[in-house]
Chains A and B, each alone.
Chain A
Amino acid sequence: MLEGKKVIAIGERDGVPGPVIAECLGGAGLEVVFQVTECFV
């Protein structure tokens, strides 16, 4: 599913932020090529 993919992590301030997604997926051995936290107001 995600194996071998380069990951774009788009987090949300009121959900799971980008750096947390990146840390978790990095820990899973995936390469995160971009992470950001969007904010819906």
Chain B
Amino acid sequence: MNFENQGVIKRLADQYGPENLAVVLGNGEASGVEVFAETVTQGDPSYAGPLAGVALKIPVYHVLEEEVMAAVPEKLREEKLQLSSLVIDVAPMQQVLQAAREKL
């Protein structure tokens, strides 16, 4: 996750409290998801960004996970997410994110 966004997330966590936040990702591939999840739960794994050593423990989801999709009004879901859900394989990302959430 780029440093600028890490800085914004840190500021939002200070402002609202990390327990009041959730991160929702839109990654197209599973490869980046684990790093994103680790960054906002345990801290920046590269130890270089503003979240290095900062374990915010913010729960992370993918927008195409069933429980997130279910909260989106049907019309919006059909217009905005249906096509993505056909081409993005969310299952491997869900496994990673579920494991990250269980560790919180």
Contact = CB atoms under 8 A, between A and B. Distances in A.
Q: Which of A16, A28, A33, A36 has the most CB of B within 10 A?
A: A16
Interface in A6-36: 6-12, 14-18, 20-21, 23-25, 27-28, 30, 33-34, 36
Report the interface size class on chain B.
35 or more
Majority secondary structure of chain A interface residues (helix, strand, loop or mixed): mixed
Interface of B: 1-2, 5, 8-9, 12, 16, 20-29, 31-32, 36, 40, 58-59, 61, 63-64, 67-68, 71-73, 76-77, 80-81, 84, 88
A-B pairs, top 6 by smallest CB distance, nearest first, are A15-B28, A16-B26, A11-B26, A5-B22, A14-B28, A28-B71
